[in-house]
């Protein structure tokens, strides 16, 4: 068959013609599938499954096209063309079948609706999973550090013995620092945390805050990281990191218009390219596996009209804000990203972006001067 | 319609999870279901759909099973084609609920920025 020598290469228009000219539609489809299969660097069993699935698709599609009056040659050609260029299709299947951490925004999951001038720069509202409605919204820059650890915890000198269990260690720290402790023990046990088994760690004279961090790490399972937060009133909550973060999801918008313009002028062909650069930067640098577009379920972002909307836990928002602050004209471009990722990240108020406040969910935007506070302080991670 | 495909970028998984919420479907049936539900306005590109299905399955959001299809015009009795059916896993159902919530919240948020139409 004349297609043999071309099977090594991506599908060309001539090959399509050859395939469609084949009298036997099945043979034409098999030849095409053979090309796709050879281009995929995947295990043979996976390639076979993909081909079986695509063969079924082609048959169904061709049958439908025949039903609307297309001739067979034309139907086969159309069905194959709709699946796209072979090399591209092969890459997509390869990416989809890669182990985690998965592909990064392979199909640029964002929207650009022009980059018109915008005025208000930043706003945020906290969102709770349990409620389908958007709750009261505020961003409290002035009190952004309201949930710092209680002094008694910071100044406490803790010791943990080798045989202490998670329950004993946390109880001990809480009672000695005289802070309220909130732990959903059942949810921990449900994911396999052994609350009453020895932690098998030992330390002396460590600050209470550092001890909490070490204990959380020691008790984490391979699948579920543990962490702690200081809640309103100085209560310490200990639990699954995902649960703690989920309760702190907020929607923040960042004005990235100036940044996009600068990128567009110097480094990108279009606004769309510039936007993609920004999105990819954030999705690779800030906890990649947690973005929805990367297969996670904790955070998402979209770019609309020069505004970047980020719906994510407060801890991730800090990192996003820090990265965006690295462009010329913004503050703190000396700081290292690794430092930011670990702990001391500039607060949102440090970035030279104005912020305004969404007062409620009733579609009403209530602009407010920078620094004005409405409502209670936003929850902060320690 | 210009702009519409842009707006749909990133919504592929939401569309797929949503149509599978009604019951198991195979790839080609998903494209037809999405087209039917949108009155023909949305056509999923098969070259994007199948890799997406694989990715969702790999993430544990979808489960799949194979069915052997005997085509009526197939002379060779042994040569049935294979059809891969997808259904939502428990994780997929949970993810869909999350996606719907956050989609609505995002939509509402963005709407508050749009000028009132004359």
- B101 interaction partners in chain A (CB closer than 8 Å): 129, 132
Instruction: Report the pLDDT value the prediction gives residue A261, as an integer from 0 to 100.
Output: 82
Q: What is the ipTM of this complex?
A: 0.88
pLDDT over 70, % of chain A: 67
Chain center to CA of A68: 43
Question: What's B80-101 look like in SS3?
Answer: CEEEEEEEECHHHHHHHHHHHH
How far does B75 lie from chain A, in Å, by closest CA? 13
Instruction: Report the pLDDT value the prediction gives residue A9, as an integer from 0 to 100.
Output: 41
Place of tokens 């020598």: A5
- Picking from A97, A107, A292, the nearest residue to B9 by CB comes out as A107
Question: Mean pLDDT score of chain A, rounded to an integer?
Answer: 70
Question: Mean pLDDT score of chain B, rounded to an integer?
Answer: 82
The pLDDT tens digits for A232-271 are: 778 889 999 888 888 888 888 888 888 888 888 877 777 7
Place of tokens 């544990």: B60
Q: Do B102 and A52 count as a contact with CB atoms less than 8 A apart?
A: no
Instruction: Report the pLDDT value the prediction gives residue A129, as an integer from 0 to 100.
Output: 36
- Picking from A57, A297, A307, the nearest residue to B27 by CB comes out as A57
Is residue B40 within 8 angstroms of chain A, CB to CB?
Answer: no
The average pLDDT across A143-163 equals 77
The average pLDDT across A29-43 equals 90
Is residue B12 within 8 angstroms of chain A, CB to CB?
Answer: yes
Q: Do A132 and B104 count as a contact with CB atoms less than 8 A apart?
A: yes
Inform me whether the pLDDT recorded for A381 exceeds 80: no
- B111 interaction partners in chain A (CB closer than 8 Å): 363
Poorest-confidence range of A117-131, A144-158, A277-291?
A117-131
Q: Do B55 and A102 count as a contact with CB atoms less than 8 A apart?
A: yes
Question: What's chain A look like in SS3?
Answer: CCCHHHCCCCCCHHHHHHHHHCCCHHHHHHHHHHHHHHHCCCCHHHHHHHHHHHHHHHHHHHHHHHHCCCCHHHHHHHHHHHCCCHHHHHHHHHHHCCCCCCCCCCCCCCCCCCCCCCCCCEEEEECCCCCCCCCCCCCCCCCCCCCCCCHHHHHCEEEECCCCEHHHHHHHHHHHHCCCEEECHHHHHHCCCCCCCECCCCEEEEEHHHHHHHHHHHHCCCCCCEEEEECHHHCEEEEEHHHHHHCCEEEEEEECHHHHHHHHHHCCCCHHHHHHHHHHHHHHHCCHHHEHHHCCCCEEEEEECCEEEEEEEHHHHHHHHHHHCCCCCCCCCCCCHHHHHHCCCCCHHHCCCCECEECCCCCCEECCCCCCCCCCCCCCCC
Poorest-confidence range of A158-162, B38-42, B71-75?
B71-75
Q: Do A305 and B84 count as a contact with CB atoms less than 8 A apart?
A: no
| More confident of the two residues A382 and B56 | B56
Is residue B43 within 8 angstroms of chain A, CB to CB?
Answer: no
């Amino acid at each position: 068959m004349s297609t043999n020598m071309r099977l090594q290469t991506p599908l060309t228009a001539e090959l399509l013609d050859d395939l469609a000219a084949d009298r036997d539609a099945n043979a034409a489809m098999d030849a095409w599938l053979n090309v796709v299969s050879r281009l995929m660097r995947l295990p043979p069993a996976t390639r076979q499954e993909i081909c079986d699935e695509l063969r079924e698709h082609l048959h169904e599609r061709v049958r439908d096209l025949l039903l609307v009056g297309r001739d067979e040659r034309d139907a086969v050609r159309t069905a194959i063309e709709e699946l796209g260029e072979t090399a591209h299709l092969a890459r997509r299947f390869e990416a989809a079948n890669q182990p985690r951490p998965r592909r990064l925004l392979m199909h640029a999951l964002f929207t650009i609706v022009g980059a018109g001038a915008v005025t208000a720069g930043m706003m945020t509202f906290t969102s709770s999973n349990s409620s389908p409605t958007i709750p009261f919204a505020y961003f409290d820059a002035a009190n952004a550090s309201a949930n710092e650890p209680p002094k008694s915890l910071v100044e406490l000198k803790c010791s943990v013995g080798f045989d202490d269990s998670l329950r004993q260690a946390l109880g001990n720290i809480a009672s000695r620092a005289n802070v309220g402790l909130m732990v959903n023990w059942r949810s921990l046990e449900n994911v396999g945390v052994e609350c009453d088994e020895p932690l098998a760690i030992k330390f002396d004279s460590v600050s209470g805050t550092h001890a909490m961090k070490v204990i959380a790490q020691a008790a984490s399972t391979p699948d579920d990281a543990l962490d702690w937060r200081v809640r309103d009133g100085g209560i310490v909550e200990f639990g699954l990191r995902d649960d703690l973060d989920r309760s702190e999801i907020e929607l923040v918008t960042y004005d990235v218009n100036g940044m996009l313009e600068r990128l567009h002028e110097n480094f990108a062909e279009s606004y769309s390219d510039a936007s993609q650069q920004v999105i990819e930067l954030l999705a690779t640098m800030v906890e990649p596996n947690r973005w929805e577009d990367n297969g996670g379920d904790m955070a998402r972002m979209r770019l609309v009209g020069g505004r970047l909307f980020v719906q994510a836990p407060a801890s991730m928002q800090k990192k996003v804000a820090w990265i965006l602050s690295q462009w010329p004209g913004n503050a703190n471009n000396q700081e290292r990203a690794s430092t930011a990722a670990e702990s001391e990240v500039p607060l949102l108020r440090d970035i030279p972006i104005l912020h305004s406040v969404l007062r409620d969910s009733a579609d009403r935007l209530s602009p407010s001067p920078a620094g004005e506070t409405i409502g209670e302080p936003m929850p902060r991670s320690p | 319609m210009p702009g519409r495909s842009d707006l749909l970028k990133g919504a592929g998984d939401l569309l797929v999870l949503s149509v599978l919420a009604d019951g198991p479907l195979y790839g080609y049936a998903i494209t037809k279901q999405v087209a039917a539900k949108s009155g023909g306005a949305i056509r999923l590109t098969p070259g994007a759909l199948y890799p997406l299905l694989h990715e969702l399955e790999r993430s544990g959001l979808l489960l799949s099973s194979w069915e052997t299809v005997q085509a009526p015009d197939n002379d060779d009795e042994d040569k049935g084609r294979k059809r891969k059916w997808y259904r939502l896993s428990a994780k997929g159902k949970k993810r869909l609920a999350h996606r719907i919530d956050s989609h609505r919240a995002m939509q509402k948020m963005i709407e508050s920025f749009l000028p009132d139409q004359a």
